[in-house]
A and B are shown apart, each in its own frame.
Chain A
């Protein structure tokens, strides 16, 4: 049941528990308990809204930064990651395989703000060897959702 709950709320976290229970053929209590338990176990970590900021009048700049670091003895990557992800500007931090160590995704009001963050906060950290900043120009698809998709039903209205 967990798998089905997650598959459903991953794309629609606003669904109410009563309806979710109907869709999954379970009781409301069962579903509520399962959801509560998954929140407790940090399987469900939050309920966010996917916003296409490009369609608002608010300016936002997102950049993806490749960061190379030297892991310190006894501390490893996790401690360095922590020092990075605690900044409010940082939206995501991933430890990567391959040519660099962290992908850091930063959100700011302007390119200047993001650049300042990188040059004043991120790059000077002791463990950081190098950074490479890439600005996002346009988002087509995020979290499995195509952002500017117009859906229309092209089927004939009655068919056998």
Chain B
């Protein structure tokens, strides 16, 4: 029999997260600080709206780009939160999570040989999706001394005449880094001068603790060269509903919608109705969850300081990214030993790119009680190493 698999897919490495998950799932009574999703349930009024739509028998396809009412609410939201105005008819497509948006944006924009600048450590799907779309990933290794922000020099050092797209993964998973307005202005300048498009993954935009999130699309000259990816998973604790969206220039969104139409048809109808409620009446829930994450963030940073674990202060998402370099172990070794010896699961930084070596991703999408328990064990572990 012939090999049923394509060369391309077999050459793509499986996600490092998956490997670690397999080890954790064999371990009973381990405390995990390894999740990438909120610990809150979806607010009841949003769930209730989903249930109501089912009761009313709204169980059919929606238009490919998504319900018009939802697209209207999305454009209102973007206008009110990041100050960018989009046309709901032409500039928005509702996707199956932010992940689909990333995939179809890359497939829409890349020709073979086009280079995509991917800052790492970052979310696991940019690199494989770029390859699957026929593009060439060019990794930019972010530095701890810059608090994992992307600098103008780093972008300039990686630009070639094939560079077409820059991925902007902020607020960042796994580092928790954010880009403030002045940081973004530097990057925008480079993009405009070199005619580079931006795929701005803003899925954690509501979880920004220093100042309100600034979107690169809001800077002069950037709206026409930026695709924003966002969604409901992190802000409204709706991961399982699988709902996100992309907003950007009409010609790009039109082609993305074409792929979406052939691959997906439309995003889940129930989720779309629930999402309308989230955008109309969910600001209060978001603020409450943000405050809660922020308290845990301060708690963790303080606890790390007290136990002598080096960590820059992150201002976004729900992750901290402490350095374990002084323990002379790889991230993988450290995480594996921590799991085996103290039964605490954290994710090695290397799961998010080679530049994550020497770091751990610790999620604070857990109650304070859980965090305290886990921190006690991490402290025991570190004491034994010293």
Contact = CB atoms under 8 A, between A and B. Distances in A.
B37 A155 contact: yes
Contacts of A19: 299
Interface string B255-272: 000000000000000000
Interface string B15-38: 101001100110000101011110
A56 B32 CA distance: 33
A23 interface: yes
A4 interface: yes
Contacts of A159: 17, 21, 34-37
Measured as residues with beta carbon below 8 angstroms from the partner, the interface class of chain B is 20 to 34
Given A157-B30, A157-B345, A23 B298 contact: yes
B183 interface: no
Contacts of A157: 21, 24-25, 30, 32, 34-35, 345
A155 B35 CA distance: 8
A10 B20 CA distance: 39
Contacts, number: 53
**What range describes how many residues of A lie at the interface?**
10 to 19
B36 A7 contact: no
A136 interface: no
B299 A158 contact: no
B123 interface: yes
A159 B302 CA distance: 25
Contacts of B25: 157-158
B287 to A, nearest CB: 11
A160 B20 CA distance: 11
B347 interface: yes
B34 A158 contact: yes
Nearest to A22: B302
A28 B124 CA distance: 40
Contacts of B15: 160
B17 A25 contact: no
Nearest to A157: B32
Contacts of B20: 158
Contact of A25 (B36, B124, B298, B347): B298
B216 to A, nearest CB: 23
A24 B292 CA distance: 10
Nearest to A20: B295
Contacts of A22: 298-299, 302
A30 to B, nearest CB: 14
A158 B291 contact: no
Given A24-B298, A25-B298, A155 B39 contact: yes
Given A22-B302, A153-B39, A158 B295 contact: no
B320 to A, nearest CB: 14
Interface of B: 15, 17, 20-21, 24-25, 30, 32, 34-37, 39, 123-125, 173, 291, 295-296, 298-299, 302, 345, 347, 351, 368
Given A22-B302, A24-B295, A158-B17, 14 more contacts: A4-B291, A22-B299, A23-B299, A155-B37, A155-B39, A157-B35, A157-B345, A158-B20, A158-B345, A158-B347, A159-B17, A160-B17, A160-B124, A160-B351
Interface of A: 4, 7-8, 19, 22-25, 153, 155-160
24 contacts: A4-B291, A7-B291, A8-B295, A19-B299, A22-B298, A22-B302, A25-B298, A153-B39, A155-B39, A156-B35, A157-B25, A157-B32, A157-B345, A158-B21, A158-B25, A158-B32, A158-B347, A159-B17, A159-B34, A159-B35, A159-B37, A160-B17, A160-B36, A160-B125
